[in-house]
Amino acid sequence: DAGITQSPRYKITETGRQVTLMCHQTWSHSYMFWYRQDLGHGLRLIYYSAAADITDKGEVPDGYVVSRSKTENFPLTLESATRSQTSVYFCASSDPSGVQGEQFFGPGTRLTVL
Amino acid sequence: AQSVSQHNHHVILSEAASLELGCNYSYGGTVNLFWYVQYPGQHLQLLLKYFSGDPLVKGIKGFEAEFIKSKFSFNLRKPSVQWSDTAEYFCAVRAGGGNKLTFGTGTQLKVEL
C-alpha cells in the first residue's frame, strides 16, 4: 500500500551530468505528472502522461526528458543538469475515472546541482 | 491559459485566530477547484475540492472554502487555527475538464502559540 514513491529522495550532482529521478505508483492510475517546486513559483508542471507511451509537455519542459514504458513508472531525466534545475521535484498521479481527477503526490526529490 | 493567484504569500496568526486565504483564478469556463496543504518536509495533501453543487465545501481538519463564481474566487477559511496548521497552502484549478492542474504560488502560514 505504498501508493506513490519517488527515488532518490535527495540528490546532489554537478553541472552537465545526467540525472534520472524515478517515480512509481501502485494504483494503476492512467495519468502521471512531474512538477518542480520553487520559492515564489509554487508548483510548475514539467511533463505529464495520459497513459503508457503517451507523454506531453507542461509549462517548463526545457532540459527534461520523460518516458512511460509501463503504466506504473514515470522517470524524469535531466540530460545535462544546470544550476537552475536545483529544485524539489514532485511526481503525482490521478485516475480520471476515479475521484474527479484528484492528484496524489509523492514525497518529493530534493535535487541540488552544483 | 488559466492562471491562479494567491495574494497572501506569508501569513502569521496566533492560535485560535480565524484564517482566510485568498485564491483567484482566470478562466471563463467550467472549473474544478482544489486546496492542497504541504506540512513542513512533507508532500502535498488534498484539503478540499469543489466540483459542482453547494459552493461551500468542507474539508479535513475544520477547513472550508467557498466558490464564488462571479468573483472567480475560492477562498480557504478556518474559524480557529491551531499551531499544527503551520504549513504551506496551495490553491489549484482544473479547467475545461482536462486533467492538468494549475497551481498558485502558495501561501506560507505560520501559527504562533
CB pairs < 8 Å spanning A and B: 47
Q: How many domains does chain A have?
A: 1
Residues 6+ apart with CB under 8 A from B16: B80, B81
Domain ranges in chain B are: 3-112
> In whole numbers, what is the pLDDT of chain A averaged over residues?
92
- Written as nine digits, the cell of A30 is 492512467
- The pLDDT, as a whole number, for residue B27 is 85
What CATH number does residue A44 fall under?
2.60.40.10
- The pLDDT, as a whole number, for residue A104 is 92
Residues 6+ apart with CB under 8 A from B14: B111, B112, B113
- The pLDDT, as a whole number, for residue A79 is 95
Domain with A37, as residue range(s), is 4-113
Q: Is A103's CB within 8 Å of B106's CB?
A: no
B49 touches chain A (CB under 8 A): yes
A97 touches chain B (CB under 8 A): no
Q: Which amino acid is at B107?
A: T
Q: Is B46's CB within 8 Å of A102's CB?
A: yes
* Three-class SS state of B95: strand
- Rounded CA separation A18/B9 (Å): 34
- The pLDDT, as a whole number, for residue A99 is 55
- The pLDDT, as a whole number, for residue B100 is 85
The DSSP call for residue B71 is: G
Q: Is A33's CB within 8 Å of B100's CB?
A: yes
- The pLDDT, as a whole number, for residue B62 is 95
Q: Is B100's CB within 8 Å of A45's CB?
A: yes
Task: With beta carbons under 8 A apart, name residues in chain B contacting A106.
Answer: 43
Average pLDDT over residues A60-75: 96
Taking the domain B3-112, which CATH number applies?
A: 2.60.40.10
Average pLDDT over residues A54-74: 95
